[in-house]
Amino acid sequence: MTKAIKKQALGRGLSALLKDPENDITSVEDKNADKVVGNIIELEISAIEINPFQPRSNFNEESLRELATSIKELGVIQPITVRKLEFNKYQLISGERRLRASTLIGLTHVPAYIRIANDNESLVMALVENIQRHDLDPIEIALSYQRLIDEIQLTQEQMSERVGKKRSTIANYLRLLKLDPIIQTGIRDGFISMGHGRAIINIEDLDIQTDIYQKIVSQNLSVRETESLVKNYHEGLKPKEEGKPKSESSFVIRETQKNTFNDYFGAKVDVKVAGNGKGKITIPFNSEADFNRIIKLING
């Protein structure tokens, strides 16, 4: 199937602005700083250095080649983030895999968000204002939410207060970023809706995701039909028990019920149920702050 890829409106003019030695932007107080904060800019790869304190040092070569192939076909969907060190010199904050993969296929420029000194609050305001726009597609909104998490360390509860959206709504947008890049592009281009994406994301296998995406587009399936397709896929994965009567007290945890836990706690919750109807719920956390966040949710 031929895919029409929508080109992002990248800041090529802003790139020239940053390379003007007479207009070097080092602070949010500087002239034209508002044009940089929160915007996507085409940046020369040669001007970017890897963060020496980057904790990740090993990259799976096969995974990197797969990403490079995806970038060659679709472009860099999620821009990298860099910190401005001095004139025309930047240090990578996030997106090293994307940068390495782009270099692997010979790209000379990558789309980037540029952080400058004391721009924290300005960036928050720029992103919140961007999220409130009516012409954004769901993936663009999701990427803005993800930036607030990655760069400003806002929790989903804090974002909820800032943007006036329910925490569950924010979680639903963020989950879209787990979709295969081809499907994300399909949402951005309007081939499928956010509702289609939310149905597909219940499948972890990216190859199966793209197969279902192709069926949606080629057969013009509705969201309800897509949900049915996903349900049938999961039903087909269940082992068939022959001649073994089910315990009257046993029951099946539906995927939608699991997702309710995932969305509420902002984590991948493990729910298991035994044949006698008893079970357990495991909620993972990444840090003390994340643990306290979950306690606060439980306590209401």
Q: How do residues 186-238 score in pLDDT, each as one tens digit? A: 999 899 999 999 999 999 898 999 999 999 999 999 999 999 999 998 888 87
pLDDT bucket at 6, cuts 50 / 70 / 90: very low
The pLDDT of 239-254, averaged and rounded, is 59
Higher per-residue pLDDT: 277 or 240: 277
Domain definitions of the chain by residue range: 7-54+61-117, 119-178, 194-237, 255-299
Upper half-sphere CA count for residue 179 (Cβ side, 13 Å): 34
The pLDDT of 74-87, averaged and rounded, is 87
pLDDT bucket at 53, cuts 50 / 70 / 90: low
pLDDT above 70 covers a percentage of the chain that reads: 86
pLDDT for position 2: 36
pLDDT bucket at 5, cuts 50 / 70 / 90: very low
The pLDDT of 23-50, averaged and rounded, is 83
pLDDT at 273 over 60: yes
pLDDT for position 7: 42
The pLDDT of 285-295, averaged and rounded, is 84
pLDDT for position 291: 83
**Residues annotated as part of the active site:** 96
Fold of 7-54+61-117: 3.90.1530
pLDDT above 90 covers a percentage of the chain that reads: 31
pLDDT at 55 over 50: no
pLDDT bucket at 240, cuts 50 / 70 / 90: low
pLDDT for position 112: 92
pLDDT at 256 over 60: yes
Q: In three state form, how does the secondary structure of the chain look?
A: CCCCCCCCCCCHHHHHHHCCHHHCCCECCCCCHHHCCCCEEEEEHHHEECCCCCCCCCCCHHHHHHHHHHHHHHCCCCCEEEEEEECCEEEEEECHHHHHHHHHCCCCEEEEEEECECCHHHHHHHHHHHHCCCCCCHHHHHHHHHHHHHCCCCCHHHHHHHHCCCHHHHHHHHHHHHCCHHHHHHHHCCCCCHHHHHHHCCCCCHHHHHHHHHHHHHHCCCHHHHHHHHHHHHHHHCCCCCCCCCCCCCCCCCHHHHHHHHHHHCCCCEEEECCCCCEEEECCCCCHHHHHHHHHHHHC
pLDDT for position 242: 58
Of 156, 226, 154, the closest CA to residue 187 belongs to: 226
Higher per-residue pLDDT: 95 or 20: 95
Fold of 119-178: Arc Repressor Mutant, subunit A (1.10.10)
